[in-house]
């Protein structure tokens, strides 16, 4: 199915454009998770004295640039973890916005019983979507994209409220939890799932890890809650960033699956319009 604007240009190709948007989102999440891992490696290098601040002969801002650099290096894992998580949430938001635009484009064509729209009509549709996005928080965005979510999507969407709260705090309050972040309570609570590995009942967080003879290694998929009190600083280790990437990728995939299920019958209607138009020519 390829509805398009009347002017020359590439039209919407469903489901290929939706699948491409999903793939781009997942590749981006992989890059963000990798950035967090790099932060961990740099932090280990600093601890072992293998990484030193640059000594470039350039004007430097700050009263003690070298000391500032050393302080940043000591915090590099947390700083890159914060950046990575913020980027992950924004990537998901961009992906969701892409799906919403595709949905509204197809719906506009079906309302008019045609396969293309003028450039002006396309801009009007685009502006309507932008207005929807401005009036809708990230936590509610999936409800615009999928009208009848599956139980799987409904369960995963619960994670979004926490992610949205984290991003607002990281961007607007430097990660320092304040009353705006906690609502009625005095804590910001966020929960998301992740695969965890156990040996002899003990979680394995680092390798190598010795497992007693006679005990095996097992993997479990668990949801854990993280809590920050008012005044505390949100920090993410590299490991926590991997869990965040895993959870957001699961949510993006489930949203894509539900979106494709709902939109396929609508695109079939456009295919019927196309066949009817061909027969009448």
User: Residue 92 above 90 pLDDT?
Assistant: yes
User: Which of 52-56, 77-81, 246-250 shows the lowest mean pLDDT across its residues?
Assistant: 52-56
User: Residue 14 above 90 pLDDT?
Assistant: no
What's the DSSP call for residue 12?
A: -
Mean pLDDT (whole number) for 101-105: 90
Per residue in 32-46, pLDDT (tens digit) is 998 888 887 777 777
Mean pLDDT (whole number) for 108-132: 83
With a pLDDT cut of 70, the percent of the chain lying above it is 82
Mean pLDDT (whole number) for 60-74: 65
User: Which of 125-129, 143-147, 266-270 shows the lowest mean pLDDT across its residues?
Assistant: 266-270
Enumerate residues 6+ apart whose C-beta is below 8 A from 92: 25, 29, 138, 163, 248, 251, 252
Query: Residue 80: pLDDT band by 50, 70, 90 thresholds?
Result: confident
User: Which of 49-58, 156-165, 194-203, 205-214 shows the lowest mean pLDDT across its residues?
Assistant: 49-58
User: Residue 256 above 70 pLDDT?
Assistant: yes
What number of helices (H) and strands (E) belong to the chain? 8, 5
Cross-sheet strand order for the sheet of 187-199: 202-203, 187-199, 217-229
CB 3, CB 116: distance < 8 Å = yes
User: Which of 118-122, 193-197, 241-245 shows the lowest mean pLDDT across its residues?
Assistant: 193-197
What pLDDT, on the 0 to 100 scale, is given for residue 150? Answer: 93
What pLDDT, on the 0 to 100 scale, is given for residue 248? Answer: 92
Q: Rounded distance, CA 198 to CA 183, Å?
A: 35
Query: Residue 7: pLDDT band by 50, 70, 90 thresholds?
Result: very low
User: Residue 57 above 60 pLDDT?
Assistant: no
Domain positions in the chain: 4-280
* Phi and psi at residue 176, to the nearest 5°: -90, 115
What pLDDT, on the 0 to 100 scale, is given for residue 237? Answer: 84
What's the DSSP call for residue 114?
A: -
CB 143, CB 208: distance < 8 Å = no
4-5/116-117 β-pairing: parallel
Per residue in 271-281, pLDDT (tens digit) is 676 666 665 55
User: Which of 164-173, 200-209, 214-223 shows the lowest mean pLDDT across its residues?
Assistant: 200-209
Query: Residue 61: pLDDT band by 50, 70, 90 thresholds?
Result: low
User: Residue 177 above 80 pLDDT?
Assistant: yes
What pLDDT, on the 0 to 100 scale, is given for residue 257? Answer: 95
Per residue in 121-131, pLDDT (tens digit) is 888 888 988 88
What pLDDT, on the 0 to 100 scale, is given for residue 212? Answer: 76
């Amino acid at each position: 199915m390829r509805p398009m604007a009347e002017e020359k240009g590439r039209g919407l190709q469903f489901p290929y454009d939706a699948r491409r948007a999903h793939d781009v989102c997942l590749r981006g999440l992989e890059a963000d998770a990798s950035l967090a891992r790099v932060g961990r490696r740099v932090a280990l290098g600093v601890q072992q004295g293998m990484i030193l601040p640059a000594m470039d002969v350039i004007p430097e801002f700050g009263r003690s640039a070298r000391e500032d650099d050393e302080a940043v290096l000591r915090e590099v894992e947390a700083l890159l973890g914060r950046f990575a998580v913020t980027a992950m949430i924004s990537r998901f938001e961009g992906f969701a916005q892409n799906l919403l635009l595709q949905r509204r484009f197809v719906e506009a064509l079906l309302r008019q019983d045609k396969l293309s729209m003028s450039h002006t009509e396309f801009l009007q549709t685009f502006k309507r979507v932008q207005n929807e996005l401005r009036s809708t928080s990230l936590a509610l965005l999936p409800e615009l994209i999928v009208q009848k979510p599956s139980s799987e999507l409904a369960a995963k969407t619960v994670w979004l409220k926490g992610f949205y709260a984290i991003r607002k705090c990281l961007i607007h309050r430097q990660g320092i939890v304040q009353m705006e972040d906690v609502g009625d309570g005095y804590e910001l609570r966020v929960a998301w799932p992740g695969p965890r590995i156990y040996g002899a009942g003990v979680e394995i967080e680092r390798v190598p890890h010795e497992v007693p003879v006679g005990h095996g290694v097992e993997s479990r998929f668990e949801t854990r809650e993280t809590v920050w009190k008012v005044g505390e600083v949100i920090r993410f280790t590299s490991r926590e960033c991997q869990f965040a990437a895993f959870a957001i990728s699961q949510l993006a995939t489930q949203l894509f699956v539900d979106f494709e299920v709902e939109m396929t019958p609508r695109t079939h209607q456009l295919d019927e319009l196309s066949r009817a138009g061909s027969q009448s020519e």
